[in-house]
Amino acid sequence: FNSLNHDMTLTEFKFIWYMEYSHRMWGRVVGLAYLLPAAYFWRKGWLSRPLKGCVLALCGLVCFQGLLGWYMVKSGLEEKPDSYDIPRVSQYRLAAHLGSALVLYSASLWTGLSLLLPRHKLPETHQLLRLRQFAHGTTAIIFLTALSGAFVAGLDAGLVYNSFPKMGERWIPDDLLAFSPMLRNIFENPTTVQFDHRILGIASVTAVTALYLFSRKIPLPRRTRMAVTSLLAVACMQ
């Protein structure tokens, strides 16, 4: 309010406050949804030894996620006397918070599906190994794309250019490498951050499409085919 939004009304402030409050409360509900059943199943002896390690890791990650969220929000409330920028959280901490959430969600889904659905025993052919490697590589690109989106959000980089596929009148903007040293542009230059996010987004869709086309050449179980097709549909929608 003191730095930027002098004309904000109490009603407008309450809207932002309740969004933040709801997010925190929902996060705590998620934490309890992990910790309470885990303690109950553990006490009942329903968890195998490998699953105990997995459950401990997931519960630890939930707690770490909450701590990381507090650490992120704290960065937006710190006074920066040497900065004339608007108040915002650190884009580094925002990316770490989002990345941790994605890891937690993916690990939870993978664990749940592993328990609910029996693993297909397929012959380890050369094509199947290549498909698995391709899938892992695609996952890495998608994860990097999501993290780059956190940097876009943290720097308000989406406000710099709003045209596609060109950025303004150029394919490669003039201020792409305006910061020094050069590596700083990747994480702190809004133009570079948006440019990287665009390239990674295109790379993600390309990788998912290629994965789908490659999977069509291999005899796969119905469930696997549904997964790959769903991945392509979601990538196009995204």
Confidence of residue 193 (pLDDT cuts 50, 70, 90): very high
Q: Which residues contact 137 (CB under 8 A, 6 or more apart)?
A: 207
Count of the separate structural domains present in the chain: 2
214 and 225 within one domain: yes
CA–CA distance from 110 to each of 103, 105, 204 (Å)? 10, 9, 21
Using only the alpha carbons of the chain, give its radius of gyration: 22
Arithmetic mean of pLDDT, 162-190: 90
Shared domain for 142 and 83, answered yes or no, is no
Instruction: Give the pLDDT band of residue 84 (cuts 50, 70, 90).
Output: low
Give the span between the Cα atoms of 10 and 153, in whole angstroms: 25
The answer to whether residues 185 and 112 belong to one domain is: no
Residue of 4 and 15 predicted with greater confidence = 15
Could you tell me if 214 and 134 are in contact, meaning their C-beta atoms sit under 8 angstroms apart?
yes
Alpha carbon distance 193, 184 (integer Å): 10
| Cα 121 from chain centre | 31
Of 78, 75, 64, 74, nearest to 27 by C-alpha is: 64
pLDDT of residue 85: 61
Q: Look at residue 224 and tell me whether its pLDDT is greater than 80.
A: yes
Mean predicted lDDT score pLDDT of the chain: 91
d(CA 194, CA 160): 8
Q: Pick 187 or 5 by higher pLDDT.
A: 187
Count Cβ neighbours within 10 Å for each residue of 139-161 and write b for 16 or more, e otherwise.
eebbbbbbbbbbbbbbbebeebb
- The model carries a pTM of 0.86
Which conformational region is residue 163 in: left (phi greater than 0), alpha (psi within -120 to 50 degrees), or beta? beta
What tens digit of pLDDT does each residue of 101-125 get? 999 999 999 999 999 988 877 777 8
Domain hosting residue 57, numbered range: 1-117
More confident residue, 183 or 124: 183
pLDDT score at 123? 79
Whether residue 134 sits in one domain with residue 37: no
Q: List all residues 6 or more positions away from 94 whose beta carbon is below 8 Å from its beta carbon.
A: 72, 150, 151, 153, 154
Q: Are 3 and 39 within one domain? A: yes
Q: Let me know whether 104 and 155 are in one domain.
A: no
> Quick one: pLDDT at residue 142?
97
